[in-house]
Structure 1
């Protein structure tokens, strides 16, 4: 179930949580299965081996499905950039324990073989709070708050991403974007598809800028190019490995790109999702001062859509 961008709801029947800046993960423990624990992203990718420090979830219950966000703290604040390298591949237990992630759990979808999807959020949350999450290393319940306006102010002061409001009566609808969950972010962010890239001049094949697209009614619409945030060697390695095999002979964009953007471009199939922060949009729909934040393997390319801001 996905949140809908919008203004902060008011009135009775709502609870409020921090909008965690991490990777959405479904954790399932199945009795008698091998392996007993599976961690999967929204797109269905198996990331169990990426987070070995969460193996203790098998001790929580023999049959349970949890929904939550994997975060990595940097200076006490969740950092998507710090988490990015853990999202990309397998790490050993020793490496994970030196800088462990935290699984912030906010929903329970099945317990002891009983499906809870049609139960109201208040009931699912009460069930979650009866589980001994405190007894599992690197796992915490995402706290609930009654005052959304106060939480929005505090999250802004502390540099957190924002707030998610949830209607207590709401059932859980897998994969759907629901008005019963509303997200309010302090900064603009946008998931984009990469339609091509421009090599960095004189840099031996390094990627200098990504050409970004957002699906529209007539095909892939150009959203601008991003070069800020691509300098790191780890980022270059990930992008080169992901985009190289997708190289295509022609532009995937619905309209020809401006010469200043298309010059020297190498095109690719638009199946890699990246997230960028930005300062709004131009009249032509281009992102203002975009900054690359990371590859979003947890987002299905079919889910990418234009976000407000």
Structure 2
């Protein structure tokens, strides 16, 4: 091992390593594993389990069904990187179930949901092992360390991988209706908080995180017409279109209530956009996930569908597409 030891884990100081988007490819220098549709999470395991979101929020109280992860790893203190998922009725990760859990605040309802739809921590990397920082070690060695330390259980699963056959693996994942594939260079170190081509993601559906810059009131029975979407480019907000489909009546009411609590703001876009005449602008704090077919030449999302708020992400992270 190359890094030094510490008596205490650096809780709430590590941001996860991120990937760039890529087309599927084959390479003997890469491993390929499923891209899980969940909440990215670092698990700090010592005398108890602490779960930290990618933007350094303690989400431990939301997942009491993962409170025993520290008992399932033999070589503590440790920090594991993975994805929290909740399987749906078909056995595949259900982001809607996960989002519903994330919205809960009442401890009784959280415990009830944990019994009805238990979460799984799908672990794929290790950052600290027996108190030692192993982020500088190559990925293949970190995988060996991880596999030797995990005691598999219903709520802790090690993500499996293959080597070289990235294209076939991607096609197999698409065939099973999974979100996509992660490709990772075998000798890559772990670069906390960095988006690096050492890690690449293949997605069979286009999804992205977008800032909600404003909204349009609804008509008739609808109280919320559409969300105004944006991303940051070179320090300024760029318009990406509107999304008015994908949220049910309850989500519509919750979204509208949350938006109305935000301070009003001036129009954020430099150019004049004729279709935005009835918009109510708000401070760009909220981030939502949107599924779409493609990005048009004008920079608008084609056939967008709302998939939920991403309370685990900050607006400054929304800089693509």
With normalisation by structure 1, the TM-score equals 0.91
1:218 Cα shift?
6.2
Q: 1:63 to 1:267 in 2, by over 3 A?
A: same
80, 93, 116: which is aligned to 1:66? 80
User: Hey, what's the Cα distance between the residues in 1 that align with 2:114 and 2:254?
Assistant: 19
1:208 Cα shift?
1.8
CA contact (8 A) 1:18 1:164 kept: yes
Query: What SS does the corresponding residue of 1:149 show, helix, strand or coil?
Result: helix
Q: Which residue of 1 aligns with 2:3?
A: none
Query: What SS does the corresponding residue of 1:133 show, helix, strand or coil?
Result: coil
> Is 2:305 the partner of 1:299?
no
Q: 1:160 to 1:212 in 2, by over 3 A?
A: same
Superposed CA deviations along residues 22-69 of structure 1, whole A, max 9, x for unmatched, are 1111111234xxxx3211111112111111100111213441111111
With normalisation by structure 2, the TM-score equals 0.88
User: Hey, what's the Cα distance between the residues in 2 that align with 1:302 and 1:99?
Assistant: 32
43, 47, 57: which is aligned to 1:45? 57
Give ranges in structure 2 of 5+ residues lacking alignment. Answer: 1-16
Q: 1:149 to 1:250 in 2, by over 3 A?
A: same
Q: Which residue of 2 aligns with 1:230?
A: 247
CA contact (8 A) 2:289 2:310 kept: yes
Q: Which residue of 2 aligns with 1:269?
A: 283
Q: Which residue of 1 aligns with 2:12?
A: none
User: Hey, what's the Cα distance between the residues in 1 that align with 2:292 and 2:68?
Assistant: 38
Q: Which residue of 1 aligns with 2:160?
A: 143
Q: Which residue of 1 aligns with 2:5?
A: none
Number of matched pairs? 298
Q: Which residue of 1 aligns with 2:127?
A: 109
> Is 2:40 the partner of 1:24?
yes
Aligned-residue CA RMSD in angstroms? 1.7
Superposed CA deviations along residues 243-274 of structure 1, whole A, max 9, x for unmatched, are 2222314222232322x3x2322111111111
183, 200, 214: which is aligned to 1:196? 214
230, 235, 242: which is aligned to 2:258? 242
CA contact (8 A) 2:19 2:200 kept: yes
Superposed CA deviations along residues 207-243 of structure 1, whole A, max 9, x for unmatched, are 221000011236111100001112241x234423432
> Is 2:105 the partner of 1:97?
no
